[in-house]
Structure 1
Amino acid sequence: MTRTVAVVLAVLVTTATLPVAAVGGVVGTSQTVESDAMTNGQADAYAGTHVAFDTASNAIVDYRVGGQSVFENVTVESQRDHHSQTGIGADVGLSAVTNLSGIGLEIAAQTETRAEIATEGSASLAAHDTERGILTVDAGEEAQYVQLNLSEDSTAEVSDEGDRVTVDSGDRTGVLLVAGDGEVAVTDNGDVTADLERESTLVFRSYADDEHDDDAVEQERLIADGTATAEVYAAEADGDRVADVATYGQDIAVEAQRNGEDRLEMVVKRAQHEGTIVIVSVSEAALEAADSADDLAVTVDGEAAVEADSYSDLEGGIGEEPRYMVTHSSEASAAADVLVAVDHFSEREVAIQGDTEDDADGSESDSVPGFGVAAAISALLAVVGARIR
C-alpha cells in the first residue's frame, strides 16, 4: 500500500515520541505560559521529559539531556560589550575568548516542549524538550559570543568536518554548529566558545551514541549550510499531543488548513524564491502502522516527489523538482527519516492525506503511518503554523 505524506518548507519534523494516534483521536495543542521569572524577576529552572536546566542571573546552569549533564553553564555576551570591557580587539582568536561576563537572562515562557529564555540584549535562547535535547542561541540584531563550559563528564573536540564541535557526555554525543555566519571552537581549557554574527544561530543537538551516524552528520550539514532552517517536532506530554518548532533561519511562515477528515493542507510562504530541504523523522512506533518505511511517499502541490538515491541527488531537486529520500535513524531502531527537497517558493501548498484507494473502500485504517487520521493531527499542524516564524 502507498500512503501519501506531503511536507513543508525547510522543516525537520521529529515524531520520535509520538505514538500512533487512535482513529478519531485529537492532538492536544501546546499552551505557552509566562514563567515566574518573568513575573518576579527571579532565577528559575526548567524540567521536561528529556531536557532540564537551572538559570542564574546571567547564564543557563547545568544543562541536562536524558539525565546526563552536558554543560555546566551557557553564557552569552555581545561582542561589542566584550571588546569594550576587556580591551581585546575583534581580531583575537575565538579559542581565547573566555570568562564572559554574560548578560541578564530569564525564562520568559514555557510550553510542554520548550522553554524560551529572554536576555537584556538582542540574543534569545530556546531549550527544546525532545530526545535530541535541542538548544538554540539566536544572535538577534547584534553579533554575540557564547561560552559553553562543559560538565565534569563532558569533553569536546572539533569534528572531522571542521565546522562543528562534538561533545561527548558519557552515553550521549552532542554536536554544536552555527547556522548562518560564525564559528564554534574548543578553547585552550577544553570548553567551547562560539562567534555568532547578527541573525545567526548556534545549534546544539544531542544523540544516543548509536544514533549519531552518517545520516545525522548529513542533517547537521544541511542545517549548517542553511539548507534546512527549522526543526518541527511532535511529542506526547502528560497524555496529550503537543508540537513545537526550533528555528535555524529567518523568513518562514506556515498556515495550516483542514479540508476534510482524511486530508490536511498547509500553505507555506517564503519571500525567497530558493527552495530548501525538509527532513521528517518518523518514530519506530509510527512505522508499526506501515508495512515498511519505504512505502512512504511525498507530494508537494499535489504532485508526487521523485525518489532520490543520494544526498547530492536530493539536493539537486532544489530549483529543479521536488525530490525525497528515506533513511533509517540507526541500525538498532526501526525509525526512519524522510528528507524532502522543495524546489522553489514563494508560496507552496502541501497536504497530508490517507491512501486515496483505501478511501474509496471506506477503510478506517488508511491514515498516514504514525499520524493517525487527519482529524487527529489538525491541531498539531495548527500549532506548527502558529509557532514557525
Structure 2
Amino acid sequence: MSRQTIAVVAVALLLVAGVVPASTAAASSSSNAYTGTHVSFDVQGSTVTDYTVEDATVVQSIGVQSTSQAESDSGGGLLGAGGGLDLSATVNVDLAGLSLSTTTQTSATVQAESGATLTAHDENNGILVVEPGDESQVVVANLSTNAEASASGENQVEVTTADGTRATFIAVGNASVTVNEQGNVTGQVGTNGKVVLRAYPDGKTEAETQAEELIASGKAAGEVYAGTAAEAGAKASTSVVTYANETTMTAKQTGESTVNVTVDRTSETGKVLITSVSEAAVGTTENLDVAVSGGTAVEVSSYSDLEGALGSDRSAYMVKQHASGNATVFVAFNHFSERTASISGADDGSSGGDAGDDSGSTATSSGSSPGFGVVTLVGALVALAAVLFVRRE
C-alpha cells in the first residue's frame, strides 16, 4: 500500500473524528423550536406549543398578553364585579407575539412583545418560569386533550394529563393562577411576581410536593440541579432557577464530590434553597454533608424544623433520598446577604465530575457509539497507520 493511500485513510478517519463532537450537543434550537435533553417545544406566532418534558406533552399551548391590552381587547369583559381581572372568564385573549430569543446549554428564553419572558429550564422537572417585565401580564395555558385541572386557592393549579403525567402551576409573589371556564389554566402575574410550571413525568414525590409549597409560600430562594442531567461518562452539570426577588444564585462543582451554591440577597430574610443532586455531582448521595459559609449546618428531620431555622441563629438542612439515586437537599439559610452552601458526598471514585472543575457548564450527552469517541479514533488512526506502513515495508 502506498504512502498516499495511508494518508487518504488517515484523513478519512480524522474527518470522522471531527464529526463526533458535533453530534453530542445536548440541545438544539431553530428560529421557532427548541429541543433539549429533557424539554422540547415550538414557538408558533403567539404561543409556545407542545411543551414536552421527558417525551410527555404537559401543555398544548401557553401564551401571554399585558393586562391592560387584554382588558382593552375584551372591551372590559375580563373585569370582575370588584373591578379586578376575572381569570375564570379569561378564554379568548388576543395573545402577544413570541420569539425564541436566547438559548444556553440548560435553558431557552422566549420573549413576548408585551414585555414578558418565558424561560424553560432543561432539567428533570422541565421548569417553565413566566416573568412579567415592566407590566402586569395575563397568562393563558391550554391543556392537552382529556387533561384535568383543579385549583388549590390562588397559588396552585394541579394538572393531570391524559397519560397520567402530573404538573403544577404555581403563583409566586404578586401573581395568581386558576382554572377557567373551559377547564384550562389562566393566571395573572404582576411586577415582582412569577408563574412557575413544574412537571413530574416520573410521578410526584413527597419532597417535590414540599418544594411546591415552599415556592408558593415565597420561602424558596430558588432551585439548583446538580448533575441530574448528566449521563454515564459525561461531565456533571449545574443549572439554577431563581424564585425570590432581588436574589442572584450561582452553582458550580468543585472537585469530584462537592457542589457549591452561592445565594446573594439584598434582604436579610432567610430563605430555603432546593437542590437536586445526583451521584454524578457528589460521588454518592447516601451520606451527604452540608456546610453553610464555612460553618456546619444542623441536619433536621422535619419540614417544620427546616422552616423554623429561617430567622434563627443557625442554618439547617434536610436530605430526601430518591429511588433513582438522586437526592433532594433542602438548605434553610437562617439569614443573608451572601451565603454559600457546600453539599458534599463521599468520593467513591465513581463520580462523573471533573476534579477542580469550576465551570458549572451543562454536560453534553454523547451521540456516538459506546467507547468510540475522539480519543479512541485517534488511537485507532495511529495503530492503523503503523500496521499499513509495516505491510508496505
TM-score > 0.5, shorter chain as reference: yes
1:164 aligns with 2:152: no
**Structure 1 residues 92 and 68: CA distance shift in structure 2, 3 A:** same
Instruction: Give the match for residue 230 of structure 2.
Output: 236
Residue 278 (structure 2) aligns with: 283
Residue 47 in 1 paired to residue 35 in 2?
yes
Q: CA deviation at 1:224?
A: 1.0
Alpha carbons of structure 1 residues 277 and 372: separation in structure 2 relative to 1, 3 Å:
same
Shift of 1:129: 1.5
Q: Do residues 317 (structure 1) and 309 (structure 2) align? A: yes
Distance 1:177 1:282, change over 3 A: same
* Aligned-pair CA distance for 1:203: 0.5
State the secondary structure of the residue aligned to 1:194: strand
Distance (whole Å) between structure 2 residues aligned to residue 281 and residue 260 of structure 1: 18
SS in 1 for 2:60: strand
Q: Distance in 2 between matches of 1:382 and 1:253?
A: 19
Tell me if the contact between 1:141 and 1:199 (Cα under 8 Å) persists in the aligned partners.
no
Partners of 2:143 and 2:184 within 8 A in 1: yes
The alignment status of 1:248 with 2:248, answered yes or no, reads no
Could you tell me whether the CA contact under 8 Å between 1:75 and 1:100 is conserved in 2?
no
CA offset at residue 131 of structure 1? 1.7
2:328 is aligned with 1:337: yes
Distance in 2 (CA, whole Å) between partners of 1:251 and 1:182 is: 17
Output the CA distance in 1 between the equivalents of 2:27 and 2:237: 11
**Matched residue, 1:20:** none
- Say whether residues 1:379 and 2:359 are aligned partners: yes
**Secondary structure in 1 aligned to 2:191?**
coil
Q: How does 1:108-147 map to 2 (within 5 A)?
A: 108-147=101-140
The residue number in structure 1 matching 2:185 is: 192
Task: Give the whole-Å Cα distance in 1 for the aligned partners of 2:352 and 2:141.
Answer: 37
- Alignment CA distance shift 1:78-1:374 (3 Å): same
**Distance change (3 Å), C-alpha of 1:246 and 1:311:** same
Q: How does 1:1-389 map to 2 (within 5 A)?
A: 37=31, 44-88=32-76, 89=79, 90-159=83-152, 163-169=155-161, 170-210=163-203, 212-234=204-226, 235-236=229-230, 239=234, 241-254=236-249, 268-283=263-278, 289-290=283-284, 293=286, 295-320=287-312, 321-329=314-322, 332-351=323-342, 365=347, 372=353, 374-376=355-357, 378-380=358-360
Structure 2 distance, partners of 1:156, 1:257, is 37
- Cα distance, 1:276 vs structure 2: 0.8
State the shift of 1:57 in Å. Answer: 1.7
Which structure has the bigger radius of gyration?
2
> Could you say which structure has the greater relative contact order, defined with CA pairs below 8 angstroms and 6 or more residues apart?
1
Q: Distance in 1 between matches of 2:253 and 2:166?
A: 39
- Partners in 2 of 1:128 and 1:243 — Cα distance? 11
Distance 1:178 1:139 in 2: 12
Secondary structure at the aligned position of 2:230 is classed as: strand
Deviation, 1:80, is 0.7
1:223-258 Cα offsets, whole Å, 9 max, x none, are 111111322224338955443322223212346799
Matched residue of 1:199: which SS? Answer: strand
Cα 1:239–1:326 shift into 2, 3 Å? closer
Say whether the 8 Å CA contact 2:279–2:352 is kept in structure 1.
Answer: no
Q: Give the Cα separation in 2 of the matches to 1:316 and 1:165.
A: 27
TM-superposed deviation, 1:79: 0.6
Q: Cα offset for 1:100?
A: 1.3
Cα deviation digits, residues 210-229 of structure 1 (max 9, x gap) = 3x133211100111111113
Question: Residue 208 of structure 1: CA displacement?
Answer: 2.9
Structure having the higher strand fraction is: 1
CA distance in 2, matches of 1:343, 1:256: 19
| Number of residue pairs the alignment of both structures matches | 329
Q: Deviations over 1:303-323 (max 9, x none)?
A: 111111211100111111110
Amino acid at match of 1:66: E
Amino acid at match of 2:339: R
- Runs of at least 5 residues in structure 2 that lack an aligned partner in the other structure: 1-24, 364-393
Identity across the alignment (%)? 36
